[in-house]
Amino acid sequence: MNKPIYVTQPSLAPLAEFNEYLQQIWESGIMTHNGPLMQRLEKEISAYEGVSDTICVANGTCAMQLAIRAMDLQGEIITTPFTFIATANSITWERCTPVFVDIDPDTWNIDAGKIEAAITDKTVAILPVHVFSAPCDVVRIQEIADKHGLKVIYDAAHAMCVKVNGKSIMSYGDVSTTSFHATKLFNTCEGGACFTENEALAARIRRMRFFGFDESKEVVDDGMNAKMTEVSAALGLANLKHLDKVRKNRREKYELYQQLLADREYITFQKFDPEEYNYSYLPVLFDTEERVFQTLEKLAAEKIYPRRYFYPSLHNIDIFEKATLPVAESVASRIACLPLYNELAEENIRRICGLI
């Protein structure tokens, strides 16, 4: 009897390596409140990514909320509809209004050429997503932001390890945020981070994640509880050591899928530069929604469960204002993410491609 195959599985360091860090927690009794393991993880991620600063937080959603709040943004925020709901949630939870702009048909990221037409006198920021880790047009987006005096926050939830023009993708925008959720390439169980080169802004985000306390524990800002625990940081320290290996393994599996599906004229892969991608997801675009349904049904019969990331396009969800965004609508209806994770056996990739 075949075991179910899900869209992903967490990449985890050997348990013994995690235990070594847990041992330190057991000895010190420090579980949270920006403890030594979290501080060490921040330094190690900064070194790994090649950025000046990393601010670890409880998850990728509150990382975006903190970025919006720390810059006092109030008004409309231009974003993509082809993303996980958390991107828009974080905007509305900060009492701002998401304004969805259509996506590029090949990269599936926000179409930078359509951003200016959506700018109004209420626009305060642009919040693009590097979807499935393919970089947005960061140069063009910054030019638009500079021209109109807007802030840029990148939702880089999928994009750990990616470099653009030789620089970490996390170093773009006023703030970049990421997620270290269990399903991400690099995980701390739940977790996330903000990245910014603006020291004053970084200090404010640090205060805000910890109830607004300053270093002497006086409340000096409007904060919340967005701290990363020491247990999460311990897992992060253990997992970080394996990240290069994890990424290499995913890339090999991705390339095997590409090779096996190359002759299926009804399937298109995302467009990206192979060196500027982390291979954390395996999204494929089918020619029709009908074929997505047929494929999901056929695979489900074999207990294989791809996911429709990201369907529906967010502009079609009732809680948001309706918009006409034909490219996002079309891509969202025809997308499916196939299983991709480190323990996925080559024979199962061959079986999945055979069924497709």
Q: 223, 65 in Cβ contact below 8 A?
A: no
Long-range contact pairs involving 208-213 (C-beta distance under 8 Å, separation at least 24)? 208/66, 208/69, 208/70, 209/55, 209/57, 209/58, 209/62, 209/66, 210/33, 210/34
Among 8, 79, 188, 342, binds ligand T4K (CB under 6 A): 8
Q: Is residue 328 close enough to count as binding ligand T4K by CB under 6 A?
A: no
User: Which of 106-114, 151-159, 227-235, 316-324 is the region at the interface with ligand T4K (rule: CB under 6 A)?
Assistant: 151-159
Among 9, 32, 268, 316, binds ligand T4K (CB under 6 A): 9
Q: 349, 327 in Cβ contact below 8 A?
A: no
Least separation in angstroms between CB 174 and ligand T4K = 17
Among 18, 21, 84, 172, binds ligand T4K (CB under 6 A): 84
Give per-residue burial for 65-76: e unless 16+ CB within 10 Å, then b: bbbbbbbebeeb
Among 11, 46, 59, 109, binds ligand T4K (CB under 6 A): 59
Least separation in angstroms between CB 302 and ligand T4K = 15
In three-state secondary structure terms, 130 is: coil
Give per-residue burial for 7-33: e unless 16+ CB within 10 Å, then b: bbeebbbeeebbeebbebbeeeeeebe
Number of residues that bind ligand T4K (CB under 6 A): 23
- Report the alpha-carbon distance of residue 214 to residue 226 in Å, rounded: 15
Least separation in angstroms between CB 215 and ligand T4K = 27
Q: Is residue 6 close enough to count as binding ligand T4K by CB under 6 A?
A: yes
Our CB check for ligand T4K shows the closer of 158 and 227 to be: 158
Our CB check for ligand T4K shows the closer of 183 and 348 to be: 183
Least separation in angstroms between CB 239 and ligand T4K = 14
Binders in 280-309 for ligand T4K, by CB under 6 A: 307, 309
- Report the alpha-carbon distance of residue 134 to residue 162 in Å, rounded: 8
Q: Is residue 109 close enough to count as binding ligand T4K by CB under 6 A?
A: no
Q: 270, 158 in Cβ contact below 8 A?
A: no
Our CB check for ligand T4K shows the closer of 58 and 150 to be: 58
Task: Spell out where the chain has E strands.
Answer: 5-6, 55-57, 76-79, 97-100, 123-127, 151-155, 163-164, 167-168, 175-179, 192-195, 267-269, 283-286, 304-305, 335-337
Least separation in angstroms between CB 355 and ligand T4K = 18
- Report the alpha-carbon distance of residue 303 to residue 160 in Å, rounded: 30
Least separation in angstroms between CB 68 and ligand T4K = 13
Residue 265 backbone phi and psi in degrees, to 5: -70, -10
| Neighbour count for residue 40 (Cβ, 10 Å) | 16
265 contact partners, CB below 8 Å, separation of at least 6 = 287
Our CB check for ligand T4K shows the closer of 286 and 309 to be: 309
Q: Is residue 135 close enough to count as binding ligand T4K by CB under 6 A?
A: no
Q: Is residue 11 close enough to count as binding ligand T4K by CB under 6 A?
A: no
Among 10, 75, 105, 212, binds ligand T4K (CB under 6 A): 10
Binders in 176-235 for ligand T4K, by CB under 6 A: 179, 181-183, 192
Among 78, 86, 205, 299, binds ligand T4K (CB under 6 A): 86
Least separation in angstroms between CB 157 and ligand T4K = 3
Please give the residue ranges that form the binding site for ligand T4K (CB under 6 A). 6-10, 59-61, 83-84, 86-87, 129, 155, 157-158, 179, 181-183, 192, 307, 309
